Amino acid sequence: MSGLLNAKSDDGRAADEDVDSLVADLRTQGVVVVRDVLSAKECDFYRGRLDRQLKERIDSGSYCGNETNQVLDNYFQTDQELLPLIYQELTDRVMRRMIDDDYVLISPSARNRRTLSGFEFGRKTSGVGWHTDSRFIGGGQGTKPSLCYMTILCVDAFAKENGATHFIPNSHLRYQRPADRDADLDYNFLIAPQGAMVIFDTALWHRIGDGTEKSRWGVFNTYGPWFMKPYHRFDEMVPRATLDEMPPIFKQLLHLDSIPPKDHNESMITLRRVRAAVEGQ
């Protein structure tokens, strides 16, 4: 895992050469950690909102994982204050390099690997046992390079003691699934301080760590190319008026710029940006 890059220089932007080295490390090592993407104040704010969302979703019977691993899928659907978590300037620069300028959000979830005593809402969660989050074709062949990259915004620190994710170094270069989810393999801990962002290649073999009673909120966002389907219809989750007030990248991330035209009479071009250039629409 690469050193802990600082996200911001004096003007609030990472230097171009730091982004270059981050992208190079992500390609070779499959995982990088960037410090100080969220401030301590922002972490406190988001932890409070996520805890509140969890309570509301438990009370309303919405899916939230279980008492040892709480999952808020599509966290911004029920709390628009969480919508900014899908975009960071640095993530944007990295995803434009790793994917392309039209990249989109594929799956957003906030996860807390924490044991809640006094609760019982046991539902199965993803992430248990060795796995990748890649796509496979041709009878189990992973695409090379990977189509998707995941970020984890560490609202709480990820440490050995509190459920940090496990990963197998350099396994992203195999472009294959682990044969056995329960195999006994040598692994590293995905350790990151509060406020850091982890970026990893979805082909990296990983699994959920062992939880404790300590909070370990992480916001997991997977990004991919515009032609990949999102897990859900994000474009219907946020009121249009809210989106209109956001920078245009939010519409792009939520797939509004890559919805296929109704039929051949409307257009043969899916990407709104390309359609506008070609057809002036």
Distances (CA, A) of 75 to 124, 149, 233, 238: 18, 19, 13, 11
Residue 18 interacts with Fe ion (CB under 5 A): yes or no: no
Using the minimum distance from each CB to Fe ion, give the nearer residue, 201 or 257: 201
Three-state DSSP state, 109: strand
- Can the peptide bond before residue 230 be classed as cis, meaning omega within 30 degrees of 0? no
Give me the 41-80 binding string for Fe ion, x by CB under 5 A, dash otherwise: ----------------------------------------
- Smallest separation, CB 73 to Fe ion (Å): 13
CA distance 69 to 46: 18
Using the minimum distance from each CB to Fe ion, give the nearer residue, 111 or 272: 111
Residue 133 interacts with Fe ion (CB under 5 A): yes or no: yes
Is the distance from CB of 150 to CB of 133 less than 8 angstroms?
yes
- Smallest separation, CB 153 to Fe ion (Å): 15
Per DSSP, helices labelled H in 238-271 are 240-244, 249-253
**Which residue lies nearest Fe ion, judged by its C-beta?**
133
- Smallest separation, CB 206 to Fe ion (Å): 6
- Smallest separation, CB 154 to Fe ion (Å): 16
Using the minimum distance from each CB to Fe ion, give the nearer residue, 74 or 258: 74
Cβ partners under 8 Å of residue 257, min gap 6: 102, 226, 251, 271, 272, 273
Residue 201 interacts with Fe ion (CB under 5 A): yes or no: no
DSSP 23-71: HHHHHHHSEEEEE-SS-HHHHHHHHHHHHHHHHHHHHHT---EETTEEE
111-130 binders of Fe ion (CB under 5 A): 127
Cβ partners under 8 Å of residue 33, min gap 6: 1, 2, 4, 5, 191, 192, 196, 197, 198
Total residues in contact with Fe ion, by rule CB under 5 A: 2
- Smallest separation, CB 170 to Fe ion (Å): 17
- Smallest separation, CB 31 to Fe ion (Å): 12
Using the minimum distance from each CB to Fe ion, give the nearer residue, 135 or 273: 135
Using the minimum distance from each CB to Fe ion, give the nearer residue, 133 or 201: 133
Using the minimum distance from each CB to Fe ion, give the nearer residue, 151 or 252: 151
- Smallest separation, CB 136 to Fe ion (Å): 14
Binding window for Fe ion (CB under 5 A); candidates: 25-33, 35-43, 131-139, 152-160: 131-139
Interface ranges with Fe ion (CB under 5 A): 127, 133
